[in-house]
């Protein structure tokens, strides 16, 4: 067999790699791994792949958290998808804590995601209208939209400048704009310019 001269580099995000190592370590200790996140998201599927020979559960809703049960003496390691909604993570963890299981909660939401969510919530609270820019398939943008919508009823989720429509039921004096981590700066600038021209 001929050897190639390719060099293989592991480009996994360090935050995600940390979760892989964490769940792998706890799985080896026969602990149940509880992942809080979207079960169809590639990151969550990847995390699950590091949990060999142990029980793995994925939870992303209040209903699933309430249904979760563990055996007496079962140890549970709780981690999160890095882009999950921080407030929702804390809510789901609290539901599980109330069951008085032996749990070890490791908040693995990435700092940049956490800060962006907190800033979006604060901006939404101070705005008459919020515009969230990003792909409909982006998990972190979807979470930003949910957070903003909880705080500001006039929250709009757009993918391109063509989705931007101004049809407000009330007078708008302030418009907040936030965007997902992978949204191009050029698109954000276009939306900002359009909003300034309108108002």
Alpha carbon distance 127, 120 (integer Å): 10
Between CA 11 and CA 4 the distance in angstroms is 20
Rounded distance between C-alpha atoms, residue 70 and residue 105, angstroms: 15
Residue 157 and residue 136 in contact, taking contact as beta carbons nearer than 8 Å = yes
The residues facing 133 across adjacent strands are 158, 179
Strand ranges of the sheet holding 175-179, from the earlier edge strand across to the other edge: 155-158, 129-133, 175-179
Please tell me which residue in 25, 31, 43, 115 is annotated as part of the active site: 43
**Cβ pair 96, 103 in contact under 8 A:** yes
Residue 43 annotated as catalytic: yes
* Dist. CA 4–CA 17, nearest whole Å: 26
- Say whether 133 sits in a helix, a strand or coil: strand
Question: 158 near 180, Cβ under 8 Å?
Answer: no
Which residues are annotated as catalytic? 43
């Amino acid at each position: 067999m001929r050897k190639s001269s390719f060099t293989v580099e592991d480009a996994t995000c360090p935050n995600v790699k940390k979760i892989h190592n964490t769940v792998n370590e706890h799985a080896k200790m026969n602990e149940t791994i509880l992942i809080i996140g979207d079960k169809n998201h590639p990151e969550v599927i990847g995390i699950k792949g590091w949990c060999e020979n142990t029980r793995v559960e994925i939870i992303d809703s209040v209903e699933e958290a309430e249904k979760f049960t563990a055996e007496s003496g079962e140890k549970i390691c709780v981690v999160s998808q890095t882009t999950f909604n921080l407030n929702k993570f804390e809510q789901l963890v609290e539901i599980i804590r109330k069951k008085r299981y032996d749990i070890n909660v490791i908040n693995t939401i990435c700092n940049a995601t956490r800060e962006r969510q907190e800033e979006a919530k604060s901006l939404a609270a101070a705005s008459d209208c919020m515009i969230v820019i990003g792909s409909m398939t982006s998990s972190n943008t979807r979470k930003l939209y949910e957070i903003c919508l909880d705080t500001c009823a006039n929250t709009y989720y757009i993918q391109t400048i063509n989705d931007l429509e101004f049809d407000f039921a009330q007078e708008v004096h302030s418009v907040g704009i936030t965007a997902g981590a992978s949204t191009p700066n050029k698109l954000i600038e276009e939306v900002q310019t359009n909003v300034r021209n309108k108002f």
